[in-house]
A and B are shown apart, each in its own frame.
Chain A
């Protein structure tokens, strides 16, 4: 779909989004709006930054994506100074791109304070700050240097703060909450504003450029597409967008946040943690089960082959051993780079199959090799064909070792399958990886604990299977002879 040529009203509609929460949520809302208007649509989440999305749009890989007026002006059209939306629309049309009206909110830079402190000092607008040079300012290093950042702002408003320091964005919120600083820069629709009960100071002199959200779309798209997208115009206030962003960040579920947008018309109930874990676990078991099955089906014959002395045996054991030494992440990355595979559950399953192969191959081979020579000779001397020797004598006698290999493979697979989430194959890795990205321990544990429990359960299940599948005669220890 990504490689499909531009144009064509019959093509499936694809909405793209940039790599941050608000863009994800807007993309998800647009997908739902299109679908509710009878236009099947897909959402490619978090494709990258402005340049990637713009290229994808103009080349036809996507039909539409959410953008901001300030970005269109400065990064896409590269014009200087204020430009009206109408002027932008004319300019974009020459490139085959249309633009909706403003969705409502303005995601620009803003200055924020703790609500309670602002009220006590009577501060509502940025101009009000002039009377309080004692306030401690902590802004991001970028904002400190930007042309639309702190210095021009202070000059314009005539602010004379004595204590202005650069501080990391995320840490700045912590510093603001505990009173180390009084004032900080933020994106006006940042979820943290609502979360930390902050207030956005009004830009009464209109210093900050306007970053109104709009949707860009291909002019050659199905005419129902712009019609549907335009239904979103003016429906999202700053407060509403902040609320949706906060919900998306708290639940890590963008479609749930999007559904809040439609709440007037009745929405899905948010999935409970138990339901999520059940869904992840089911997916995880499917990944492990399918790949284990293939590891067994491929691994046992390879192991039988490798049990015979010679070059082939060395080759098989050497190769499967080599695969095992590749770090699982690297193996996944290697497979993803194969064009026919790419980012898909199939790739994850192939990686898991390759990973699960060694214990099964090795244990099958050694299980058969460990059968004592007199017993091998007896099997042959009895007059059984090689095939019957294998199935009636060698494999049953090697069953303990083979099952041990399968068990090892299954337990490894339960752990390794958490990486499948990296390439969108789902499973218990989903919350682990989201949690790692967001540095959120609780979310990590939502995946890590079930995965550990699962590995334990698999181990116990196989111990039970041992009793069922290993012939009784091999489990005896007593020897009265």
Chain B
């Protein structure tokens, strides 16, 4: 679905991502994980075109991402960020329908899609007429998720979508996310710093450190066959935290 070919990114002398090759498979959830500044969010922002690679190229379903193609490609991606990124001057429904309306998608179709997705994401109907300021953090992320899924995107890009939520809400949203991904057979790229979340949601886990991939594979691969001590330390550090 998405291929990174020798993609790197640096801001002046600061390297955010060393030259990287990486494939994201269709209908899989790929999790990018690693300590702060490892380059995981950078990869996501390169795919959605908020950053341009310093070297290399990114192919999306056969098309190279470039300034001329990015607008159309973005409409085939869904993007959810930590704070939801909802526009405060629009109600939840207006936020969700902003792009479909702008693109002139059929009203009834969008309406039934909205109903379907709100049920799937367990968003109460009455919150659709509320403004973002009137919604709880969990509700905002649900609205943001629905907005991202409205046009049946080829890929869903999630940048630490649950990081700002309290643990109870986060746990229930993790369950719902998994249900949604499975139900829609959705291709997902998820950025997180929580190994438990990565293990629960990810088909494939990509562990990064200082702008480079350390190891990529299933959680079992990383746990049982770590390529170096950093991998096992990263997994164990989080496990110790859970047990303590």
Name A's B-contacting residues (CB within 8 A).
374-375, 377-385, 388, 392-393, 396-397, 399, 471-474, 476-481
B88 within 8 A of A: yes
Name the A residues within 8 Å of B71 (CB-CB).
Answer: 383, 385
Shortest distance between the CB of B62 and any CB in chain A (Å): 18
Q: Are A382 and B99 in contact (CB under 8 A)?
A: yes
Tell which of B30-38, B130-138, B172-180, B205-213 binds the partner: B130-138
B10 within 8 A of A: no
Chain B at the A interface: SS class: loop
Q: Are A380 and B50 in contact (CB under 8 A)?
A: yes
Taking A378-B81, A380-B74, A473-B132 as known contacts, 4 extra A-B pairs with beta carbons closer than 8 A to each other, sorted by chain A number, are A377-B81, A381-B74, A382-B98, A397-B89
Could you tell me the distance between the alpha carbons of A399 and B134 in the complex, rounded to whole angstroms?
20
Could you tell me the distance between the alpha carbons of A158 and B203 in the complex, rounded to whole angstroms?
126
Q: Are A378 and B88 in contact (CB under 8 A)?
A: no
Q: Are B102 and A480 in contact (CB under 8 A)?
A: no
Name the B residues within 8 Å of A399 (CB-CB).
Answer: 89
Residue from A375, A383, A474, A476 in contact with B85 in the complex, judged by beta carbons closer than 8 Å: A375
Q: Are A383 and B74 in contact (CB under 8 A)?
A: yes
Name the A residues within 8 Å of B74 (CB-CB).
Answer: 380-383
Closest to B153 in A: A383
Residue from A388, A476, A481 in contact with B102 in the complex, judged by beta carbons closer than 8 Å: A388
B192 within 8 A of A: no
Given A381-B79, A383-B99, A388-B102: A478 in contact with B89 (beta carbons within 8 A): no
Name the A residues within 8 Å of B27 (CB-CB).
Answer: none
Given A478-B133, A480-B135: A383 in contact with B75 (beta carbons within 8 A): yes
Given A377-B50, A382-B98: A396 in contact with B89 (beta carbons within 8 A): yes
A-B contact pairs, 18 of them (CB 8 A): A377-B50, A378-B86, A381-B49, A381-B77, A382-B74, A382-B99, A383-B71, A383-B75, A384-B98, A385-B71, A396-B89, A397-B89, A473-B90, A473-B131, A473-B132, A473-B133, A476-B131, A480-B136
Query: 7 nearest interchain CB pairs?
Result: A378-B85, A471-B89, A473-B131, A383-B75, A383-B74, A476-B133, A381-B79
Q: Are A375 and B87 in contact (CB under 8 A)?
A: yes
Total contacting residues, chain B, CB less than 8 A? 31
Interface string of B88-101 (1 = CB under 8 A from A): 11110000001100
Residue from B79, B89, B135 in contact with A481 in the complex, judged by beta carbons closer than 8 Å: B135
Shortest distance between the CB of B93 and any CB in chain A (Å): 12
B140 within 8 A of A: yes
Name the A residues within 8 Å of B99 (CB-CB).
Answer: 382-384
Name the B residues within 8 Å of A471 (CB-CB).
Answer: 89-90
Shortest distance between the CB of A408 and any CB in chain B (Å): 22
Name the B residues within 8 Å of A476 (CB-CB).
Answer: 88, 131, 133-134
Name the A residues within 8 Å of B197 (CB-CB).
Answer: none
B231 within 8 A of A: no
Could you tell me the distance between the alpha carbons of A382 and B100 in the complex, rounded to whole angstroms?
10
Name the A residues within 8 Å of B137 (CB-CB).
Answer: 481
B26 within 8 A of A: no
Closest to B76 in A: A383
Q: Are A374 and B134 in contact (CB under 8 A)?
A: no
Closest to B151 in A: A383
Closest to B148 in A: A382
Name the A residues within 8 Å of B134 (CB-CB).
Answer: 476, 478, 480
Name the A residues within 8 Å of B21 (CB-CB).
Answer: none
Shortest distance between the CB of B139 and any CB in chain A (Å): 8
Shortest distance between the CB of A390 and any CB in chain B (Å): 13
Counting chain A CB atoms within 10 Å of each CB, the highest count among B49, B50, B132, B133 belongs to B133
Shortest distance between the CB of A111 and any CB in chain B (Å): 79
B25 within 8 A of A: no
Could you tell me the distance between the alpha carbons of A277 and B86 in the complex, rounded to whole angstroms?
51
**Interface residue ranges of B38-86 to A (CB < 8 Å):** 48-50, 71-72, 74-75, 77, 79, 81-83, 85-86
Could you tell me the distance between the alpha carbons of A471 and B132 in the complex, rounded to whole angstroms?
13
Name the A residues within 8 Å of B133 (CB-CB).
Answer: 473, 476-479, 481
Closest to B165 in A: A481
Name the B residues within 8 Å of A474 (CB-CB).
Answer: 88-89
Counting chain B CB atoms within 10 Å of each CB, the highest count among A374, A384, A388, A481 belongs to A481
Could you tell me the distance between the alpha carbons of A471 and B90 in the complex, rounded to whole angstroms?
8
Counting chain A CB atoms within 10 Å of each CB, the highest count among B50, B87, B137 belongs to B87
Name the B residues within 8 Å of A396 (CB-CB).
Answer: 89
Name the B residues within 8 Å of A378 (CB-CB).
Answer: 79, 81, 85-87
Q: Are A381 and B50 in contact (CB under 8 A)?
A: yes
Could you tell me the distance between the alpha carbons of A397 and B95 in the complex, rounded to whole angstroms?
13
